[in-house]
Amino acid sequence: MVVNLQLGFIIALLFSIIIAIFAILNNEVVTINYLFGEAPVSLVIVILASAFLGALVVGIFSLVGRVKYGFKFRDLEGKLRKMEEELNRMKKKEEELLDQLSHLEDQLYGEEEYTESEFIDPLKEEEE
């Protein structure tokens, strides 16, 4: 993650340097036409302002995406927590049922040890 951030920062820095060099090399005055009129402006300012506004728009869209995925992540963490709690409840219930089964087997067959072949198999009785 840190490497991705560093790589992104280096690429953005290189891109900014290229834009700055390009802007300095094109320092003529140009006329900007807008809705209410026109104004003479240095091309350096136009290039740098355009680059800044583009970066700002990309940053806003990126921020919106990160916030969206942050909410999704938080929601999924909550669902995971609930599923883990449910799993723990089910494991506890399984232990209780196994203990209950063991207790019932002890009551049914007594406290003596029996081999598996001595237990009554209800499925075998149905087949006969």
DSSP 34-62: ETTEEEEEEHHHHHHHHHHHHHHHHHHHH
pTM of the model: 0.55
Which pLDDT score is estimated for 127?
Answer: 53
The domain ranges of the chain are 2-110
Which pLDDT score is estimated for 88?
Answer: 96
User: Which residues of the chain, if any, have pLDDT below 50?
Assistant: none
The residue with tokens 């089910």 is 90
Which pLDDT score is estimated for 16?
Answer: 87
Which pLDDT score is estimated for 26?
Answer: 84
What is the C-alpha to C-alpha distance for residues 59 and 65, in angstroms, rounded to an integer? 10
